[in-house]
Amino acid sequence: MRMPSFRLVPILCAALLGAATSAFAQSGAPVPGPVLPTPERPQPTMPQMPVPQPPALGADSWVLMDYTTGQVIAHHNEHERLAPASLTKMMTAYVVDAALASGKVHWNGSVYISDHAWDKGGAKTDGSTSFLKLHDRYPLSEVYNGMIVQSGNDAAIALAEHVAGTEAAFVQLMNAYAQRLGMKGTHFENASGYPHPDHYTTAWDLALLARAIIHDYPQYYGVYKTQSYTINGIKQANRNLLLYRDPSVDGLKTGSTAEAGYCLVASAQRQSQRMIAVVMKTKSLADAASQDEALLNYGFRFYDTHLLYAAGKPLATPRLWKGVADTLPVGVAGNVEVTIPRGRYADLKAAMNLPATLIAPYRKGQAIGTVTVSLDGKPLLTAPLIALADAPEAGFFGRLYDSVRLWFQGSPATPAGGGKG
């Protein structure tokens, strides 16, 4: 095998050094980093319009959240810890949903009604009940409907025992999932919502939970819009009054005790937009429904949610040094969406934060920087920017060429033409 002449190496090095020196002499100073382009964004679809203050409500605590982005549009005492009453059953359902999705229990499985479920579930208390018969067995689907539609305490406890063996063990799962979902102001003591000094949550946390229920387990979410259900020949109606007067509402849950007052978590979808409204401690179910309805209407009328940047689409192709390629496409891993007042697209500002010098190698999906979107000088969101392709190192001479240029120029310069060996 014929070896290359080592006499070429000094010549090539000298040529590279000369080229770099020439470039430095022309600039007279280190070349500043390139100005990164602002990502494109959609144009306004409606003229700008003033946005009024949120409606004045009588609830002690409330939250209005956009489902897609998780942005809270309006709120009041949103982190105040309050008794959740039967809103607790939303977390009970979420834990059951997780067990169903993992195959640990089954939709048509047989659920036993124990003495504990029967006693604590309404038979010996004045709480809501699904009228399940002591020591009988029911399909899980029927008990689940009884818990959500009829708000049966007996159904909630029976499901807890079916999933975890005991209600106490199930409560540990409830609190673990609450921590995982970021429900920092929440602690559960039981599966039904029975009053207890250490059993509490917040409107903010309930909005997080409602969003997780809809997003994580959509296959079971349809139960929440069921208007009535019959068990053992007894028909009971869903207490969510919005299900009967607003066809866009498809969930979620009511709750009421002397301590909690009347509470409602509701969600509605109109066209492609979904909102979640939570009101806690109102004077009646009718008040809770009216106040949730006012929040939902406010959100849909005055706010829009829009896709700004699509996952995997290049937002910039900054200069890459010491790589096979001269540039590196960067973008976002997931869709970046934002909820803003209607007509404010033109006022959005986007800025990228990337290193001044990108040096290979990079792997696809590796975090590179961030993109921040602001409105009126206030950041709305910050999303990570990632490499959209693998960027391997160049060969020895390619790395040498860029090393010399970087040494002389001190900062990125105009990309060199051609690939590297």
Contact 228, 238 (CB under 8 A): yes
Residue with tokens 């010399």: 404
Verify whether residue 151 is a known catalytic residue.
Answer: yes
Q: Where are the alpha helices (DSSP H) in 56-139?
A: 88-101, 115-118
* CA gap 316, 319 in Å, rounded: 10
* CA gap 234, 132 in Å, rounded: 10
Q: Distance between alpha carbon 93 and the CA centroid of its chain, in Å? A: 19
* CA gap 317, 37 in Å, rounded: 9
Among candidate residues 86, 130, 192, 256, the one labeled active-site is: 86
* CA gap 238, 223 in Å, rounded: 11
Verify whether residue 283 is a known catalytic residue.
Answer: no
Contact 305, 338 (CB under 8 A): yes
Verify whether residue 27 is a known catalytic residue.
Answer: no
Among candidate residues 61, 89, 256, 267, the one labeled active-site is: 89
Among candidate residues 61, 130, 151, 290, the one labeled active-site is: 151
Q: How is the beta sheet containing 61-66 ordered, strand by strand? A: 72-76, 61-66, 273-282, 261-270, 249-257
Q: Indicate the helix (H) or strand (E) that contains 366.
A: none
Q: Are strands 367-375 and 378-387 parallel, antiparallel or unpaired?
A: antiparallel
Residue with tokens 């000298």: 14
- The pair of structure tokens assigned to 380 is 């709305």
Give the Å distances, CA to CA, from 271 to 121, 215, 300, 320. Answer: 39, 17, 10, 43
Mind telling me the catalytic residues?
86, 89, 151
